[in-house]
Amino acid sequence: MRVLVTGGAGFIGSHLCEFLLEQGVEVLCMDNFITGSAENCAAVRDRPGFTFALHNVTEYIAVDGPLDWVLHLASPASPRDYLELPIQTLKVGALGTHNALGLAKSKRAAFLLASTSEVYGDPLVHPQREDYWGNVNPIGPRGVYDEAKRFAEAITMAYHRYHGVDTRIVRIFNSYGPRMRLNDGRAIPTFITQALTGAPLTVYGDGSQTRSFQFVSDLVQGIWKLMHTPVNDPVNIGNPYEMTLLDLAKRILVLSGAQSEIVFRPLPVDDPKVRQPDITRARTLLGWEPRVDVDEGLRITIDWYRQRLHA
């Protein structure tokens, strides 16, 4: 099997590339390092079967030789990124997905879109099932990411229905683990970095908004299972264990042994109040559910950040 992974030098993409190589898959990793990094691929760049291509997927994608899969993960993915890179976020969701689908069509390859729980917006249905259409503000600051992914899902289904491309859509819920950037801006890397440097942990609003966090190895297993299951409709991959962000901050303080205080800041615009996946479809169709306990995953992640901060 030969697979193209766009965004392969990102947090999730690099873990996926590593996993695929371990399964004996030949991997072409494509990235332009807007939010990914060469360091993420350091563990695999010299391994047989791994090739890297420096390319922006919003431009035409040319790949020599056959492909069995195009896994489209390229996109800024944190609120900080898509607020700083709004046009790039929209372009990679629209033009990048179009180009990646066109490549899959020309190679007669299957296609997987890495979508997101953000397509549900600030949900009015809880937990979120795949048949929920969402509650998104299309012109708000977060809309550049939400609508880019919603468009990406629409064009993916159009290529499936009109051109017969074998497609998958994975709706990824909050994920974490080693290789998330220290300045990523999402809750877990922010809290861990603050805790390990003795800074106050900044909680937005009163901290009662909820999230559901899955360790990256569970997510990669879910993607692999989805690749091998003939289901074209979207599938949630996430950990249904829900917690408040205030509880998350307190857990990280305990697990890291830090003595930092918790301070509160105003809630960002359109920040979702709840986020929890209904994973019935993943359980029944894929035989998948998360295995890594949140505290265990947080310990692994904290240890990785500690090494990075003291390197």
CATH classification of the domain holding 197: 3.90.25.10
Residue in the structure block whose two tokens are 């949140």: 294
Do residues 86 and 227 both lie within one domain? yes
172 and 196 part of one domain: no
For residues 13 and 252, give the distance between their C-alpha atoms in angstroms, rounded to a whole number: 25
Residues 166 and 300 in one domain: no
Note the pLDDT of residue 311.
67
In a domain, 26, yes or no: yes
Q: What angle do CA 187, 188, 191 make, to 5 degrees?
A: 80
- Token readout for 83 is 């607020």
Known catalytic residues? 145
Residue 132 shares a structural domain with residue 95: yes
Same domain, yes or no: 38 and 95: yes
pLDDT the model gives residue 268: 83
One domain for residues 91 and 234: yes
Tell me the pairing of strands 201-204 and 175-176: unpaired
Residues 32, 58, single domain; the answer is yes
Give the tens place of pLDDT for each residue, 15-56: 999 999 999 999 999 999 999 999 999 989 999 999 999 999
Answer yes or no: do 233 and 246 share one domain: no
Residues 13 and 82 in one domain: yes
Looking at the fold, whether 138 and 252 belong to one and the same domain comes out as no
**45 and 83 fall within a common domain:** yes
Residue 275 amino acid letter: R
Against a cut of 0.75, is the pTM above it? yes
Q: Which residue is it, tokens 């929890």?
A: 276
| 50 domain residue, yes or no | yes
The enclosing domain of 36 has a CATH number of 3.40.50.720
The continuous run of DSSP H or E covering 51 comes out as: strand 50-54
- Total of domains in the chain: 2
State the residue for tokens 């990669």. 220
Q: Within 10 A of 114 (CB to CB), how many other CB atoms are there?
A: 27
Closest CA to 116 of 189, 186, 59: 186
| Residue 142 forms part of a structural domain | yes
pLDDT confidence of residue 269: 81
- What is the domain range of residue 132? 2-176+215-239+280-286
Residue 181 lies in a domain: no
Both 202 and 222 in one domain: the answer is no
Per-residue model confidence (pLDDT) at position 270: 77
Q: Three-class SS of residue 5? A: strand
Residues of the chain with pLDDT under 50: none
Residue 87 lies in a domain: yes
